[in-house]
Amino acid sequence: MKYPNVGKGIPARPIRSGENPIQALYLVVTLFLFGACTDVVDVNIDPAADQLVVDAWINNKSVPQTIRLTMSQPFFSNTFATGVAGADVRVTKENGDVFVFADHGNGSYIWTPPETGAHIGEPGMQYDLHIQRDGDIYKAESQMHRVPSIDSIGIELRNGELGYADGHWASLFARERPGFGDTYWIKAYKNGVFLSKPAELNIAYDAAFDAGGGIDGVTFITPIRELINRFPDPGPDSVDDFETPPYVVGDEVHVEVHSITNEAFRFLQTARDQMNNGSNTIFAIPVANTKSNVFKESDNTPILGFFCVSAVSEATRVVE
């Protein structure tokens, strides 16, 4: 068997029976040239008209609840969104209770509990969002679903384990309610700071990642349990890297499980995929707005954002 490419800087490949060695060499060189060429294409994108964006994720905790109204921004903008002032914002429960969200400036509309222990509502109730601004009316609806209680937050000291930095790692232990179709947003806080990176967006369909998991009525699977740990930012200049443990002695771990609708789950799933798009250019999906459940009343067209009302269970532990 002949190896004509040996000694020429090209990986050796055996010549198959009946194959012309010149053709084989030409094929290797062509593939190399095509793989080495990169063209930079600048695309001019016409800015779209500004749209109202509704960020309305509220829950039944007895704390001030906030709905944010802002204007949309160009895709490549790196500035903060402009807040919308002067709107009338209210949420109505199916029993007729009305919760008025007062304008606190910079696009923040806040409902404050009138007394200790007062809250928006309880699981099983239907809620309607009503926004009036500049003569236009926007509406959305959501139902508050049930939520499992948190059994405990486990802390494990790991040293020398493959894939883990040495230090304390936390795990969430909660048994998902029996019955297919429950969806959740699991939020983690380290010393009071919300873990808000795209890779830390932790959502569950029943006890697994999505409806195809078919895992119901059991403890959340291991990847979901451990997504309450800080996700590091790798890089030579970063102090927050994969060699830094997520928790040390004295850190406070706080976890909340929010019940969400199936529509809200798909919204967050799409948003997470869009935010993580840049980390995988080979399999990146086309950039697009996530599907909203807020509509302009006059023509029933969807705008940007989402409205969801959640029941919450929570637990806190200090690393000892």
CATH number at residue 114: 2.60.40
Structural domain ending residue among the three candidates 143, 169, 204: 143
> Are residues 138 and 163 part of one domain?
no
User: Would residue 269 count as lying in a domain?
Assistant: yes
End-to-end CA distance of the chain: 67
Q: What secondary structure letter does DSSP report for 198? A: G
> Are residues 289 and 159 part of one domain?
yes
What is the pLDDT, as a whole number, of residue 91? 98
Beta-strand relationship, 136-143 and 295-296: antiparallel
pLDDT tens track for 217-259: 999 999 999 999 998 876 666 666 777 889 999 999 999 999 9
What is the pLDDT, as a whole number, of residue 77? 77
- Consecutive H or E run containing 99: strand 98-103
> Are residues 272 and 168 part of one domain?
yes
Structural domain ending residue among the three candidates 110, 143, 176: 143
Structural domain ending residue among the three candidates 143, 164, 193: 143
> Are residues 156 and 245 part of one domain?
yes
> Are residues 265 and 165 part of one domain?
yes
> Are residues 282 and 172 part of one domain?
yes
Residues of the chain with pLDDT under 70: 1-47, 234-240, 278-285
> Are residues 184 and 269 part of one domain?
yes
What is the pLDDT, as a whole number, of residue 36? 53
| Total of domains in the chain | 2
Cβ atoms of residues 172 and 255 within 8 Å: yes
User: Would residue 46 count as lying in a domain?
Assistant: no
Whether the model pTM is above 0.85 = no
Count of other CB atoms within 10 angstroms of residue 312: 17
> Are residues 139 and 203 part of one domain?
no
What is the pLDDT, as a whole number, of residue 7? 42
What is the pLDDT, as a whole number, of residue 213? 84
76 is in which domain, residue-wise?
52-143
CA distances from 276 to 101, 280, 282 (A): 33, 7, 12
